[in-house]
Structure 1
Amino acid sequence: MTTVAAYAAPAAKAPLERTTIERRAVGEFDVLIDIKFAGICHSDIHQAREGWGEAIFPMVPGHEIAGVVSEVGPGVTGFAVGDRVGVGCMVDSCRECDNCKDGLEQYCAKRPTWTYNAVGKDGEPTYGGYSEKIVVDENYVVRIPDGLSLDVAAPLLCAGITTYSPLRHWNTGPGKKVAVVGFGGLGHMGVKIAHALGAEVTVLSQSLRKQDDGLRLGADHYHATSDPTTFEKLAGTFDLILNTVSAPLDFPAFLSLLRTNGAMVNVGLPEEPVQIPLSGLFGNRRNLTSSNIGGIRETQEMLDFCAEHGIGAEIELIGADQINEAYERVVASDVRYRFVIDAATI
């Protein structure tokens, strides 16, 4: 066991504070990672404040982890000391179900072991990336290509793969029209990736406040959903709508923007229930669905793709003593576009 510094929420809705946690000894197939940077995902806030239900405390959030390997177990074959690596939203799964065998560990039939706010196979709670070090089985570690700086790569481990996976699954590419709802931590990555895949990209945001950024980062069009004429002008336009917003929407209005056989994919998860009138689906055989991160193989594919296309997150680098302030700013949509903690300040 190794004692490391971390920032944890001691109870639901309590401010995060500096503490220490125990990391397990490096096992045969484990990798010890010196964490360099950890992104702040809105999911961290939902869980630390029990917005998604009862949680495990104390909680060390963080599932956008970038660092350097400092030790490997004797059975590790994929990584060596000094490698630049990342850890995303999960650190284990059953490895036996059809989904795990197909590289879809995020849909493990027995539920993945999440990077934090979960219980591992050893019966101990998992602690995330707001810490100095982490020990992870090599099968759930990915390599960060040299073309990506670790600070801008960290958010790719959640925001990047959460948008890349549905864009790939629904065949985003040249000739396709894609709308991204919301232009925040997830949305700005969705725009960058959809643009790099060759699609015609439109941002649908509440206002035009971030329009210049949206166009600079790859959007071809930018519309305000607060303007009712937006829905009239864009009716029947899109092959795919990627909804990154973690709040209820007027689903019939957004579904009306889909072409025949178009799909609206939700990657944001509201804390409150939403109502979806089925009448919005019947016209033009529209589809309403969801997507949840990506498997390990696809996460590596995403990182390689981002390195090839020069894609990293737009970040604000902060010290660990600014985490609580950053949480409030995320809730207020006052970040462009992902806070990243410099782990050296933990």
Structure 2
Amino acid sequence: MKPEIAMPLKSKKSKPKIQWKSIYRARWFYLMMLPGLAYYLIFSYLPMGGLIIAFKDYNLLKGIWGSEWVGLDNFRRIFASPDFFIIFRNTVLISFYRIIFGMFPDVLLALILNEIRVAWFKRIVQTITYGPHFLSWVIVFGLVFAFLAPGSGLYTQFHQNMGWGEVNLMTDKSFFRPLLIITDLWKSTGFGAIIYLAALSSINSELYEAAVVDGASRWRQIWHITLPGIRDVFLLLLILRIGHILDAGFEQVFIFLNARVYEVGDIIDTWVYRQGLEKLEFSISSATGFFKSIVGFILVLGANNLSKRMGGSGIW
């Protein structure tokens, strides 16, 4: 007779019960969370229903449901357009320049501010560098126009008075992209450094004390303690910027753009603006936005996986 093997009884998995008491105790926190949830529901999730316009020949009089289905014809029209390669190239290049020349100055300014020990001087520098962030791009363009306006700008007149001839940098194709990057740096570097300053404040001060005991100089402390301490924040912001690589800054480009620099400055968003609001081709605009979303989603996934392989934490 073979001994009978007692089989373990299968315990029934109890369904998790909703802790109504804990929810009631935290009711005010949930109440404060409602405006944020309502914002994203109304302005982020509900508009997703309008994506079906990308697959229709949308007509204002017929409405969304009355318009004819065309499948992927709108996407074929976009990719077959002679302007698509130009605007796609300009968008990627301008966004790439923003990432390369826009992130490192933020880190550098944060490191400089972190090393300043005179409190009043540090506050002055922070105020001067943070201020431009709160100016609209219309005001920034007005300042740039005051310096570079053809014939009447301060720099234009200085250039002419020095006998160097006439200059019109506002319509110069070779200067348009650097102009976008320079004005963006002036406007956003100070505010971008705030995130890195917050990350620097979370670094354990005992690490610096141990480094001083070991005889490490300030440069060694920055290289071995400070920079590794903000690496995860840098990678996180890099992933987010890569995900928005097809968003080259519509407001800035739209204000600075003129007919003479379309070849190097026209981006996807400005092209969509002309197609959607000027030509009323809403289906083309919606298809372009859908294409941008898909590309951004793929880039975020790829950048997040690459960040984890490099030892970073990633977004999730």
Q: TM-score range by the shorter chain?
A: under 0.3
- The structure number with the bigger radius of gyration is 2
Q: Name the structure where helix makes up a greater proportion of residues.
A: 2
**Structure with the higher strand share, 1 or 2:** 1
TM-score (norm 2): 0.25
TM-score normalized by structure 1?
0.23
Structure having greater relative contact order (Cα 8 Å, sep ≥ 6): 2
